[in-house]
Structure 1
Amino acid sequence: MQKAGFQTGGFQSNPFLSHHFNYDVGFDTFEDYQNPLMGIATKIFPRGIEVNHPKLRRIDEKINLTKRIKDVYQLFRGKPRPYVGADVITDDCIDWIDDADSNFFAWAHYMDVHHPCFPPVEYRKEFDAADVTQEEVSEWYSALIRSPDTLNSEEINDLESLYCAAIKYTDHQIERILRKLKEEGEFEDTLIIYTSDHGELFGDYGLYGKPERMYDELLQVPYIVTNGPEYLESSKDELLSLMDTMGIIFDAVGIDLPDSYEGIRPGHEQRDHIVGEHHAEGETVIGVRSEKWLFELDEMRDTKRLFEITDKGIDERSVNQGDDYVQSVAEKRLSELDIETELLEEDLEEDVEDRLEDLGYI
């Protein structure tokens, strides 16, 4: 987009999408809010304020590292979460749009619908969770992921209420950007894409959070396109991947797709499957979802699972009963990942590899 003459601005606070990993490339303005304290907190707590890296877990058992860092972080920031709030992202994005050229590309990425969910008090009140403290949110969510049986139904309901409250809060912040575009008379001429990366389980299948599985509750995300090409209407009920987003953008502004593009052009092509992946501590779960089948290739548990998708729901089947195609796609993708892992281990500089290990990637 930058090379095509668009002014580009990005606003987000996820450390995995920061300048440390070159996500600022191509942006004229890029705010990732990686101040030193924020960087320390996010490096140690990639899922929030909890210890989920094996090495840190052992240290935590000896010196209660979690509480010490929580106390320091609370002292300086007043909130135990490793990201800035949606209001900051929106304020900066709107200010940037004010000064941007007529042709601009803006990316606003919000972390508020991510543990630890703790939106402003008016939203917590609306969802009957005003009395929950920030520390309780952190502790309960950690327990929810590791041992949900230790929480009572009221605590789990409070976490789900805060999740819903955070969604509403984030929606209202996005609405501010849309209102700004309308006030400036730019709304009708602006392609707007609204989406997310994954869902969250609250007791579905007896699981919580985002476990290493490929259920539709995790894979299906909101995907809303406004002011896009009319032919996208035909894609409403078809399989789409987040990888296809670039095809929509480039089609809308008349840019040729680069040879490296791996998605499709929605409205011109159709998908017969999507692929989802989860990586943790050197193991991988790959899911391949077609219209009728969901296949999971699970290295973590050394197993394969097949589900048939019907109008009545999802039913597990014997692996031999299904379509061989989805299984072959999963096995091919796993072989590609094995190659990428070997290259990663060989080519990374030592300090970069150390940081990735600290973040729990390798």
Structure 2
Amino acid sequence: MDVSSKDKPNILLIVLDSVRASNTTLHGHGNDTTPFLEEFATQSTVYEQARAPSIWSLPSHVSMFTGVEPHIHGVTTADQRLGQGHTIWEKLAANHGYSTGLFTSNVFLAEAPVGLRDVFETAKGRDEIVRYPEALTPNKAERGLSQFGYVKTCLKHDYPIKSIINGLERKGRGSLTNSRYLQRLIKQDHCGPHAENFKNWVETRSGPWAACINFMDAHSPYLPDDTYDEWGGSSLKSIQRSIDQIWDFPLEEEPWWKCEALEALYDGTIRQMDATLEGIIDRLKEIDQYENTHIVITGDHGEGFGEFCNTRSDVRYVAHGYGIGESLVHVPLLSKRPYQRAGELRCGLASLTSFYQVIQSTVDSDESSHSVTFEQDSMVVSSHGRESQLDKYLGSGTRYHGDAFAVYREEGDRIQKYTKWGSDESIITLAREKSAPAISVEMTNHGEVDRALEDGNQDGLNEVGTSSDDIDEDTKDRLKKLGYM
């Protein structure tokens, strides 16, 4: 352990799950979704051209935690695990005496046996925000229990009725139904309780701490509290409840205008998280833990609301299940170094995969380091791991299939994006503006992606072997509802 650990800066990563750059006020969005982030930007570094490593949570978080791109770390499906000892969190704990904590309802971080929860000393997920924490929950019960088996176990518990209610609430979350009761239960699974769990945890730390908070509010089904539902309203919520699943849009079982309309509710969830962020920062200031904390706020991937694909004219994006469009990978990124007080704008290409190196530099430096940033001259992003999950929803061999990759490169005052989706290759030129619009699209076999993917998986980083039998029924059910199994 580093003998000077008590003087080390704290580390806080806040991931706004599914939040794309274009829907934040920071990136010119018309709805005032992020007023606090605009204020926070005046004393932090804003990276306008940040890209997520992947279009979905699992590979993106592994890349952030390890500093390794998805095509190298290979942890891109639910049947793989992250090997031990590769994350910044473990190294902070082992080498510098940090307390580490995770606060989220993200099923891949907190529940699925993919190794991410294991890298933190403290991990608080959905079990900590149930109505009756003293009672049984599906995660606390014996693994593999059927619903009937869970009820039988509850009846033997000290709090049988409360345990059953906890189980019902857990089953209700993630289900988009017409039931007002279930709708209310889903709304409990928002950022507020996780923020409170983090605040309570950080106030009990006696030495340096490092935490990751992941807020799921902006993930479908987009259910902002009424306080923050400024652009949606009851009519849109009624439309939302009428939709069986997001895959109904590409299957053309629902009209695309409904998908576009859901963006207004999505904006409300971003506004909700923005207000919660303000509460977290205020608390850190109150307990004198703000100045000496390196705070990074970002999204792990974006979200689609009917945008047309640049390379497949018959494809429109919904949620984050396929393709490699900018709505899926262009994310907000703000980084406040310890004792930073002046805002800074960086317009170079930036990668979330750099989080590992940026934090390592902060911890190793005797004073605030400016030399290591999130900017990279080139990067690889991918959708790998999602294709096999599309068969259940969209059928095999459809226009939505094929692993998608993109190689981003800095080229003068433009950003070049070399894509490969299945066998389709293209070169997309992006303007270096807040929303990074496409200036031109050229369908051509460039070979840049194949060359970039020549690096194989890094030995020892991942462990293959997790099967569906290793996943408890409640977690498996939630993964299925979210479209990951």
Q: Secondary structure at the match of 1:181?
A: helix
| 2:224 aligned to which of 84, 105, 119 | 119
Distance in structure 2 (CA, Å) of the matches to 1:120 and 1:170: 11
Query: Which residue does 2:190 correspond to in 1?
Result: 85
Partners of 1:73 and 1:80 within 8 A in 2: no
| 1:2 aligned to which of 71, 74, 93 | 93
2:250 aligned with 1:146, yes or no? yes
User: Counterparts in 2 of 1:277-316, with a 5 A limit?
Assistant: 277-282=383-388, 284-291=403-410, 292-299=415-422, 302-310=423-431, 313-316=438-441
Distance in structure 1 (CA, Å) of the matches to 2:122 and 2:418: 41
- Residue by residue over 1:179-224, the C-alpha shift from the partner in whole angstroms, topping out at 9 and shown as x without a partner, is 0011112211111000111112223214332242222222111110
Of 282-291 and 115-124, deviating more is: 282-291
- Residue by residue over 1:60-107, the C-alpha shift from the partner in whole angstroms, topping out at 9 and shown as x without a partner, is xxxxxx99x959996985546498211111111111112122411121
Distance in structure 1 (CA, Å) of the matches to 2:231 and 2:180: 28
Q: Secondary structure at the match of 2:262?
A: helix
Cα distance, 1:111–1:192 mapped onto 2, change above 3 Å: same
Query: Which residue does 1:30 correspond to in 2?
Result: 123
TM-score, normalization by structure 2: 0.55
Query: Which residue does 1:12 correspond to in 2?
Result: 104
Kindly state the Cα deviation for residue 270 of structure 1 after the two structures are TM-superposed.
3.7
Query: Which residue does 1:60 correspond to in 2?
Result: none
Query: Which residue does 1:212 correspond to in 2?
Result: 322
Matching residue's letter, 1:92 = N
Query: Which residue does 1:260 correspond to in 2?
Result: none
Cα distance, 1:152–1:221 mapped onto 2, change above 3 Å: closer
User: Counterparts in 2 of 1:225-244, with a 5 A limit?
Assistant: 225-228=335-338, 236-244=346-354
2:212 aligned with 1:103, yes or no? no
Matching residue's letter, 1:2 = A
Unpaired stretches in structure 2, ≥5 consecutive residues: 1-91, 128-136, 142-170, 309-315, 366-370, 389-401
Structure ranking higher in strand proportion: 2
Distance in structure 2 (CA, Å) of the matches to 1:215 and 1:277: 10
Partners of 1:13 and 1:83 within 8 A in 2: no
- Residue by residue over 1:145-176, the C-alpha shift from the partner in whole angstroms, topping out at 9 and shown as x without a partner, is 434573374x4454111100000001111111
Matching residue's letter, 2:326 = D
Aligned-pair Cα RMSD in Å: 4.1
Matching residue's letter, 2:254 = T
Q: Secondary structure at the match of 2:385?
A: strand
Kindly state the Cα deviation for residue 120 of structure 1 after the two structures are TM-superposed.
0.8
2:300 aligned with 1:197, yes or no? yes
Unpaired stretches in structure 1, ≥5 consecutive residues: 40-65, 256-264
Distance in structure 2 (CA, Å) of the matches to 1:278 and 1:25: 23
Distance in structure 1 (CA, Å) of the matches to 2:374 and 2:424: 37
Distance in structure 1 (CA, Å) of the matches to 2:339 and 2:380: 23
Partners of 2:177 and 2:241 within 8 A in 1: no
Kindly state the Cα deviation for residue 304 of structure 1 after the two structures are TM-superposed.
2.8
Kindly state the Cα deviation for residue 281 of structure 1 after the two structures are TM-superposed.
4.5
| 1:248 aligned to which of 358, 383, 387 | 358
Distance in structure 1 (CA, Å) of the matches to 2:380 and 2:328: 13
Kindly state the Cα deviation for residue 110 of structure 1 after the two structures are TM-superposed.
0.4
Matching residue's letter, 1:295 = Y
| 2:382 aligned to which of 276, 279, 294 | 276
| 2:454 aligned to which of 326, 332, 340 | 332
Partners of 2:419 and 2:449 within 8 A in 1: no
Matching residue's letter, 2:124 = E
Partners of 1:143 and 1:151 within 8 A in 2: no
TM-score, normalization by structure 1: 0.71
- Residue by residue over 1:306-346, the C-alpha shift from the partner in whole angstroms, topping out at 9 and shown as x without a partner, is 323356724221324x5x544411x426x649x99x973xx
Matching residue's letter, 1:150 = E
Cα distance, 1:171–1:209 mapped onto 2, change above 3 Å: same
Distance in structure 2 (CA, Å) of the matches to 1:10 and 1:22: 13
Distance in structure 2 (CA, Å) of the matches to 1:211 and 1:350: 20
Q: Secondary structure at the match of 1:237?
A: strand
Matching residue's letter, 1:304 = E
